[in-house]
Amino acid sequence: MKKMFLVLAILAGQLFYAQESHEDLHWLTDFNQAKAIAQKEHKPIVMLFTGSDWCPPCKAMHKDLFPNKDFQKVAKQVVLVLVDFPRRKPISDEQRQKNYELADRYHRGGVPTFVAVTPDGKKVLDKISGYRYGYPDADINFFKEVVRKYKK
């Protein structure tokens, strides 16, 4: 019994550590707050339209992409906004409404999709949909290209 408890404690610690490895990414859910920060810091905004608790590619993205050191490095050069449409995870009606408004304005397609916009939110810079399991390079390159386009 003690061995089983020890194994469970070690596994729980590893899961906690794995989650912490990408918790450094600062995801906002308030688009107005994101615009204010982006304008102040002169950074583009990248929104992730996701179904965090039901979409298999979205879940894979959390596992493969977000902990990736190259992704974390380039993600710090933008303001991240999470536009989530969960099925089981509760979110407020107000947040759900705001997410639908963002989807109506910027993205009427599937998930996961990254949409990059200017700091004022008026111009779409680029977008990429889908996720290729185990190959985060396309998304990392998307972020690099967004930063490059914005700095032009």
| Residue 69 within any structural domain of the chain | yes
Give me the pLDDT at residue 23, please. 61
* Per-residue confidence band for 152, with pLDDT thresholds at 50, 70 and 90: confident
| Residue 135 within any structural domain of the chain | yes
Q: Domain holding 108: CATH number? A: 3.40.30.10
14 DSSP 8-state letter = H
Question: What is the tens place of the pLDDT at every residue in 67-116?
Answer: 999 999 999 999 999 999 999 999 999 999 999 999 999 998 999 999 99
| Total count of domains within the chain | 1
pLDDT exceeds 80 at position 5: no
pTM higher than 0.75 for the full model?
yes
**Structure tokens of 127?**
């977008």
Please choose, from the candidates 83, 19, 101, 92, the residue with its C-alpha nearest in 3D space to the C-alpha of residue 46.
83
Kindly list the distances between the CA atom of residue 119 and the CA atoms of 79, 125, 149, 150, 151, in Å, as whole numbers in the listed order. 9, 10, 13, 10, 12
